[in-house]
Amino acid sequence: MQVAIIGYGAIAAYVGRALESEGAQLSMILARAGREDAAASVFGDVPVATGIGDARPDVVVDCAGHGGLSAHGLAILGNGLPLVTLSLGALADADLHARLTQAAREGGGVLHLCSGAIGGLDALRAAAIGGLDSVTYVGRKPPQGWVGSPAEKVLDLGALDGRAAVHFDGSARDAARLYPKNANVAAAVALAGIGFDATAVTLIADPEATANIHEIHAKGAFGELSFRIEGQALEGNPRSSALAAMSAVRAVLDRRDVMRF
Ligand SMILES: NC(=O)C1=CN([C@@H]2O[C@H](COP(=O)(O)OP(=O)(O)OC[C@H]3O[C@@H](n4cnc5c(N)ncnc54)[C@H](OP(=O)(O)O)[C@@H]3O)[C@@H](O)[C@H]2O)C=CC1
Ligand SMILES: O=C([O-])CC(=O)C(=O)O
């Protein structure tokens, strides 16, 4: 399997290593213009480009966040290629969502939404068929997991005095837009359940937390669901959970299976 990767950060490095160890061949890294050397320092001899051009890998994996999906998604889907993404929060932008959908329909590509740092989305998606009354997502990380996010505007992350503090309470749409590096999970819950505007999100910085803790609570015709995961941070980026990188690898490897979840 020939795989192109967008990005060269912590998740991209994990995904590249894991896929190579499963026998996949990395055929191209998509980098921001001027950052080709940074990509090469992570991926060695793998060719680096700033656009997909007319390349035809078997699958492209977006590990570059919202900027990666908005910069490359249209061309990849428009060229009829499958694109696995972790940047689900970018879809809170209704215009980008519509343009990606149109590019995929016209070009024949498919956008595969990774489960990322959370689970339980299969049950939530099934429950949505019968009708959901409420869906809540709570994201709790150690203070360093929120560095570089709007949490810094409302909290002194270095001086929380042992107490957990809420820094966002609102819709999944606002969470996804405001926290592009931290609230892709909120977007995943929204897309699986009752949408960006109806999904309630609370984000918490917790000095006592030793993991990235994600919870879903949902009620509907199916009954009630609660899901909680304590995910260890990925080496190289305390903001990102290791499971997010693992889920992208899973999504790529699933493509070669004839029996799939
Ligand atoms: N769905 C989920 O559950 C999760 C999703 N994520 C998403 O994954 C993203 C990546 O996470 P992580 O690897 O830990 O972050 P890093 O900051 O370690 O890496 C991000 C990488 O993306 C690159 N990049 C940014 N914009 C572009 C672009 N337009 N084209 C190509 N490359 C680009 C950056 O390059 P440069 O250095 O040049 O800026 C960098 O190499 C997060 O920002 C988040 O949005 C993360 C965790 C969980
Ligand atoms: O990795 C995580 O724990 C969650 C995350 O950053 C995101 O949702 O974007």
Residue 84 CB coordination number (10 Å): 26
Encode the chain (261 residues) as per-residue pLDDT tens digits.
999 999 999 999 999 999 999 999 999 999 999 999 999 999 999 999 999 999 999 999 999 999 999 999 999 999 999 999 999 999 999 999 999 999 999 999 999 999 999 999 999 999 999 999 999 999 999 999 999 999 999 999 998 988 999 999 999 999 999 999 999 999 999 999 999 999 999 999 999 999 999 999 999 999 999 999 999 999 999 889 999 999 999 999 999 999 988
Nearest CA to 90 out of 188, 13, 3 is that of 188
Instruction: Specify the pLDDT at position 102.
Output: 98
Per the document, the length of the chain is 261
Cβ–Cβ < 8 Å for 137, 169:
no
* Domain boundaries for CATH 3.40.50.720 within the chain: 2-116+244-256
184 is in an annotated binding site: yes
Distance CA 10, CA 171 (A): 28
- The residue annotated as part of the active site, out of 66, 72, 167, 214, is 214
Q: Which atom of ligand 1 is nearest to the CA of 70?
A: 29
Ligand 2 centroid to Cα of residue 214, in Å, is 9
Ligand 1 pocket check for 60: Cβ under 6 Å: no
Q: Which fold is adopted by the domain 2-116+244-256? A: Rossmann fold (3.40.50)
Q: Report whether 205 belongs to an annotated binding site.
A: no
Ligand found nearest the CA of 114 = 1
pLDDT score of 222: 98
Give the number of whichever ligand sits closest to the CA of residue 75: 1
Please report the pLDDT score of residue 42 as a whole number: 97
Closest CA to 47 of 67, 31, 61, 59: 31
Strands of the 59-62 sheet, one edge to the other: 48-49, 25-30, 2-6, 59-62, 82-85, 110-113
User: Is residue 217 annotated as part of the catalytic site, yes or no?
Assistant: no
Mutation to probe ligand 1, out of 37, 43, 86 (largest number of atoms < 8 A from CB): 86
> Which residue's CA is the nearest one to ligand 1's atom 19?
9
Which architecture, in CATH terms, is 121-237? 2-Layer Sandwich (3.30)
Residues of the chain with CATH 3.30.360.10: 121-237
Query: Closest ligand 2 atom to the C-alpha of 179?
Result: 9
